[in-house]
Homo-oligomer: A and B are copies of this chain.
């Protein structure tokens, strides 16, 4: 049933074999799940994070507690690992440059730079002929007014960098509100985006290997609450054309970036059936957590494989799935989930269930084709 084992000599050069070490910048739940996935493959992880109680430390062979601007600590860290990756995209460019000078950083610094800034990101996407929400850069009161005039009402103003889960964004209904919101956001470089009257929020998790092979997981449907992902339904119901189009968008993006690793593309499906890219995350993504339990190879393992020069895994799902985040105190109510049939519980080992904090998730499996409706 299984292919015969063969010698490692037939593998291409620069593969990080079992026993090798992946360095991960960031010690949250994504770093933790990457570390657990690496362990399946016999690959060790070294986690670099500033917080001494980082959840990923509990499951990694080594960790460094230091700030992302601590050059000496970054150097010492890089010396112990074979490749560097990250669980979040807001890493200081200096840190990435330093790490890249010592070890392969995957995804690469150029991809990260293209996706760290919303204006640069959306400009890049448009440049590929892929549709986005209407947008304009805001870096002054005058540009705020001009942007609002061209985009129209309502619009959303966001900091161009560092925002996530709805932090650092405001909805505005007039040029004056746009100016006030920009001031309120600290006069930081911002983006003003037009409101998209979407039918559904979808996302696609894909991976590209060092050899350029790209594999896509199933297109999924997401429900958000207060700008935070609440539930993912896998797969998204809909026509095969939709999936093909999402795959095509994802492939164009990773090819253009010369990307290595897992990438998540958040999409809007409009009421007339078009796909718009909302955001790209150059990393494993909350909307791919269902793959841990519903696929032979999860997004976390796929990322470890990609950055380690391994063959990508088969992204086919063996079950339908519904993934629900456990936010804040909800994680204290784990017991009924633990007792529910066909249900996979994941708790992240965070010290405190602060309001809205992602503390865990639960994935319910269904036989193929039997996923309940959204």
Contacts and interface: CB of A to CB of B under 8 A. Distances in A.
Taken together, the copies of this chain in the complex come to: 2
A281 to B, nearest CB: 23
Interface string A284-300: 00000000010011000
Given A39-B36, A296-B293, A44 B18 contact: no
Contacts of A93: none
A211 to B, nearest CB: 11
Interface in A302-354: 305, 310-311, 313-314, 316, 318-319, 322, 324, 326, 330-349, 351
A207 to B, nearest CB: 13
A338 B11 CA distance: 11
A342 B314 contact: yes
B343 A8 contact: no
B364 A42 contact: no
A32 B19 CA distance: 15
Interface in A1-52: 1-8, 10-11, 15, 17-19, 32, 35-36, 39-42, 44
Contacts of A310: 335, 338
Chain A: interface residue count, which band? Answer: 35 or more
Nearest to A293: B296
Contacts of A338: 41, 305, 310-311, 313
Contacts of A319: 318-319
Given A44-B58, A318-B365, A365-B318, A6 B335 contact: yes
A82 to B, nearest CB: 15
Given A296-B342, A296-B343, A318-B319, A335 B349 contact: no
Nearest to A327: B5
8 contacts: A2-B324, A4-B336, A6-B333, A18-B334, A18-B360, A313-B338, A316-B342, A318-B319
